[in-house]
Structure 1
């Protein structure tokens, strides 16, 4: 056994290891020579300061690299470079420089650089969120906004969101009656209802179970949730060491490949079954207002694969990130009873005996402040999927050569001590200052520029109305170790353990 750059090699022993070392040294030397100079058309600016490390695989194999990146930013500055194997990576943990990446330098760094896991899950960039900025991205984002997530489409799907809010309320009331004195698992309720909402918007109806012909079995809705959402979101953070050494991609990594292949096959099988069932309903003459109907009529040039991925994307993204943000907001409100009480009193002053609805949100600034502070402190997507610099550019006053990868560390941006007072503290008051109106770009939670998140409007409507309704009807309290449930897991910053709280009816 021999370890090279943190990778343990077996079989073939020293000979194989020496070959790999020789290739690595050659590649690193050629890579360095390619990046030693600056383009003639750019002004002479300093190089990005680099970490005194070579081959940081052991540090970056952890599941939460944004924490490591943020710690390093405190030592090396908000913009620094590291070498992960043969790859040069510039990490941005500054809000202002992140805006350069998203907006002013966008033309130089608009290409995505995906890990092997994300390549497989996205069918090689056949997702709006993970595609390059090209005609495909523009066309499919337009379809996504027109048919599902834009203001007009959101109005059409309003009834589905109202149904979801009523279902959540009813399930919480039922939990109180059937489990007196026991904690409620909010995630189990909220995530399954979000999944039902996604199915109704995308397919026109909730699906309790379905026969999956390719797998020869019948799946319940909970099993579909696992296959379409939970498993892919966990798989997205799987580490394939070949990401760091692309010139060694010919070496098999069977465990990684088999895991991702199984995940991909199961996801595609379930989506194909859902699409087939919907087409059968259409053939029978049933008319349903859904995103799949829009795509089948307005995007008829789609291949079967593109149709499948276009339908899967809003299901997985709507179900996961909105749940993560809402769960963290409710955790903080349960942990801070005075803030929870202030929100309740604001809701009562505006809504009175009426149930809070989306129309009330404009009159409830504190609810918006709570969501934005949650997006800041618990960024649902802590690191934006990597981008690739395809021409020499300047970021934060530093020269960044072509072929560099850019990691925008949103978590680090929202922890900047010179921007945010006491950044570790969850404090919605920071968004209530009259001289600093709430701006989406302050937390960078939805990205920015031409690639701003298409689902931002829906996420805000669901999260704001959801926490408002839950605080209006119930009093939330954490007990015991639940006060310290701050560990996370997954591609998004999902709480490691589901939020469990004691709740009681307000009235």
Structure 2
């Protein structure tokens, strides 16, 4: 397309060039040029605007074209329309993803109905996505179930990276999970360890030959910590929930707030894979998720109502609800419900997963259990292990990190959405792609880990690992979205593991070694670990 030539002087058409040449000239000279050319200024603006738009268009095209020249991500063969869905029979397909990585490489593409998903299975390419290419894929892509259960991403762990995320992450670090907050909550953790040890000793005294359900005890005490941090108090006698018209026991509250939600979060709604069919009803799933959402909200409202009465009476506690009601004036009641609930579920679940798997591995491996006990004896002597001892116990730290590696609590990061063309692992990834980061696959990568299927804490004693680095594996993520609760997880899990080994010899009951299946959104052990305990002298 040719532009019409001006009928007046040709000077305006050469003005932009002359103007740019004189851009360093004195201001008076430039003003004289403007006065001499009454039509020059609008012409200059128009010309510079066109030049700017052309430059931007050229840059975008060049950028896109540069990415397009990269090879496409390898594709896992699938079927028309459904793609690879029939091959993904698990609700948490991280093991299938890991098997495919051995055949198609650490990065590959699959079709999940109408969507294209790129799966990342190595630490290097996962970190590239989480750090280097993060601006291109900072948006979360949630299932219908997760969208409802998270109140459309109203959680630190799930929200998109924006001003709201930065604000609520600041809140939770300030009052609950940051280093100073953890010092203020220290007494809760000390009490929890004492309670767990006392209950185990009581069991051994009364039933020395009977295997103990470790989860039942530890889960209850962790739930107590989560409640104290969130609302300031434990709940021993249950609570009346007005919206449900009944009184729920402590165990029932735990089920509503933790167990039911973790199960509901992995419910598969086939409409997630075919968005153009969302108008088709799926009442079974819809009703189940809505029921879980409303029951949780009802229980949280009841808990909050009780604490508002306490606050109104003048009683103040070091807890999250007091902080939010005082400092977070812009939050809605629904957002406060979600943020309080997030601290409960994340404290009560993922730390349990890691600690139970660590005790399972130690009970199965007497040689490594003895090595850990010897380290504890050398550091603590006759004193009980506490958090100040952790920096002097490299093997205990290695047990913690190796458990995170082999039994990744969150094996797949919630999907991310690529909102502009980018590249990963040297491949072109177009906008509109979904990204699945397979943490389990990263931590089982044979190119990075020797015998990854083996639980071998000694690997983390190698000089290449910084003893105080919490991020030796991908379990806590990386970059701007690194897990806010990593410090708390380490403090609770490591000191609990140490205390349990310090006071008891652990042995699995017969047949327990084969009990390795998982369930729920995290890698929860399908069946609680049962162990035979013998008190140490």
Residue of structure 1 equivalent to 2:44? none
Give structure 1 stretches of 5+ with no counterpart.
Answer: 1-36
The answer to whether 1:214 aligns with 2:239 is: no
Which residues of 2 match residues 247-286 of structure 1 at below 5 A? Answer: 247-286=276-315
Which residues of 2 match residues 355-366 of structure 1 at below 5 A? Answer: 355-366=384-395
Which protein shows a greater Rg?
A: 2
How far is the alpha carbon of 1:41 from its aligned partner?
A: 5.1
Q: How many pairs are equivalent?
A: 471
The answer to whether 1:497 aligns with 2:527 is: yes
Give the whole-Å Cα distance in 2 for the aligned partners of 1:442 and 1:247: 42
Q: TM-score, normalised by structure 1?
A: 0.91
Residue of structure 1 equivalent to 2:439? 410
Residue of structure 2 equivalent to 1:370? 399
Give structure 2 stretches of 5+ with no counterpart.
Answer: 1-61
Give the whole-Å Cα distance in 1 for the aligned partners of 2:326 and 2:437: 37
The answer to whether 1:454 aligns with 2:484 is: yes
- Partner SS, residue 443 of structure 1: coil
Residue of structure 2 equivalent to 1:23? none
Per-residue Cα deviation, 1:388-414 (whole angstroms, up to 9, x for no partner)? 000000000000000100000000001
Residue of structure 1 equivalent to 2:137? 109
Give the whole-Å Cα distance in 1 for the aligned partners of 2:481 and 2:92: 24
Q: Which one of the candidate residues 195, 204, 208 is aligned to 1:176?
A: 204
Give the whole-Å Cα distance in 1 for the aligned partners of 2:257 and 2:162: 27
Larger CA deviation: 288-297 vs 401-410 = 288-297
Residue of structure 2 equivalent to 1:46? 71
Q: TM-score, normalised by structure 2?
A: 0.86
Q: Which one of the candidate residues 275, 278, 281 is aligned to 1:246?
A: 275
How far is the alpha carbon of 1:60 from its aligned partner?
A: 2.4
Larger CA deviation: 291-300 vs 323-332 = 291-300
The answer to whether 1:152 aligns with 2:180 is: yes
Larger CA deviation: 325-334 vs 177-186 = 177-186
Residue of structure 2 equivalent to 1:204? 232
Give the whole-Å Cα distance in 1 for the aligned partners of 2:97 and 2:112: 13
Which residues of 2 match residues 64-75 of structure 1 at below 5 A? Answer: 64-75=92-103
- Partner SS, residue 472 of structure 2: helix
Per-residue Cα deviation, 1:168-194 (whole angstroms, up to 9, x for no partner)? 111111111222211110111111110
Residue of structure 2 equivalent to 1:31? none
Which residues of 2 match residues 53-68 of structure 1 at below 5 A? Answer: 53-54=78-79, 55=82, 56-68=84-96
Contact 2:92 2:266 in 1 (8 A): no
Give the whole-Å Cα distance in 1 for the aligned partners of 2:505 and 2:252: 31
Contact 2:230 2:344 in 1 (8 A): yes
Contact 1:38 1:399 in 2 (8 A): no
Which residues of 2 match residues 79-478 of structure 1 at below 5 A? Answer: 79-208=107-236, 209-438=238-467, 439-478=469-508
Per-residue Cα deviation, 1:145-188 (whole angstroms, up to 9, x for no partner)? 00110000001111111111111111111111222211110111
How far is the alpha carbon of 1:43 from its aligned partner?
A: 6.3
Contact 2:115 2:273 in 1 (8 A): yes
Contact 1:390 1:403 in 2 (8 A): yes
How far is the alpha carbon of 1:504 from its aligned partner?
A: 1.3
Contact 1:157 1:201 in 2 (8 A): yes
Per-residue Cα deviation, 1:413-432 (whole angstroms, up to 9, x for no partner)? 01111110001000001001
Per-residue Cα deviation, 1:307-356 (whole angstroms, up to 9, x for no partner)? 00010001001110000000000000000001001100110111011110
Contact 2:122 2:442 in 1 (8 A): yes
Give the whole-Å Cα distance in 2 for the aligned partners of 1:152 and 1:38: 45
The answer to whether 1:481 aligns with 2:537 is: no
Contact 1:61 1:239 in 2 (8 A): no
How far is the alpha carbon of 1:285 from its aligned partner?
A: 1.6
**CA, structure 1 residues 385+174, in 2 after alignment: closer, same or farther (shift >3 Å)?**
same
Per-residue Cα deviation, 1:8-62 (whole angstroms, up to 9, x for no partner)? xxxxxxxxxxxxxxxxxxxxxxxxxxxxx98235362101011111322222242
Give the whole-Å Cα distance in 1 for the aligned partners of 2:392 and 2:470: 18
Contact 1:63 1:489 in 2 (8 A): no
Give the whole-Å Cα distance in 2 for the aligned partners of 1:385 and 1:458: 22
